[in-house]
Amino acid sequence: MKQDWIVRFGDFVFKHRDTLPVPFIIIAVAVLVLARPSFTGVGARLVLFSMGTLMALSGEAIRVWAVGYSGGTTRSRSLIADRLVTEGPYSIIRNPLYAGNFLIALGFSVMANAVIVIPLVVLYFITEYYPIVRREESFLLERFGSSYREYASAVPRFFPSSFRVKNATYDPRALKGELWTILGIVLMLAVMFGIDFVRVGLIKR
């Protein structure tokens, strides 16, 4: 099957998906330290921080739910699929891990207290994850054929059309790989709190 350019680009992004966000995060943190907050009141900042934290934790909860069905292959740098996973969150949407990632990033965008950050994060996710999804879909179609085609026609990519969950045995052993993600979230929460503290201090000067 001949691959179009978006699929080929998705293959590159998939292989480097762990390192590509690093420059973006560094630039984003530097910009946020210097950016003027959209809301300066203590109450508004607490509400935004609480909302953002809830979004980030919800995103991680989705990831924890998903990896117990998909297994440790999601951490691989190459596309691997021993079987077509259609249970748990995969019976609602085809890409729950990426949906979880988006919620995590959106949560930190809300905490950032700078309106411009949210559309930039959305644009970043479309640019990175759409090619990856297309590449994975091409792989799964080649690997599972009509079974994947039927699954894709019944289950949306990202936005659920139904909340009827197909249950199966949950494997907690795959959660070991999530420890790094959880640690990253905790560190980012500390960073966002520090950024808010620094920005408020700069405003008061």
Per-residue pLDDT of the chain (205 residues; tens, 9 = 90+): 445 777 777 777 777 677 777 777 777 777 666 667 777 778 888 899 999 999 999 999 999 999 988 876 666 666 777 789 999 999 999 999 999 999 999 998 888 888 878 888 888 889 888 999 999 999 999 999 999 999 999 999 999 988 889 887 888 877 787 888 899 899 989 988 887 777 766 555 5
User: What does the block give as tokens for 94?
Assistant: 């085809």
Q: Where are the alpha helices (DSSP H) in the chain?
A: 5-15, 21-34, 42-70, 96-111, 117-144, 146-154, 178-204
Residue 26, classed as helix, strand or coil, is helix
- pTM for the whole thing? 0.84
Which residue segments constitute the domains of the chain, with CATH numbers given? Answer: 5-21+39-204 (1.20.120)
User: What does the block give as tokens for 204?
Assistant: 């008061």
Question: In this structure, are residues 168 and 70 in contact, taking their beta carbons and an 8 Å threshold?
Answer: no
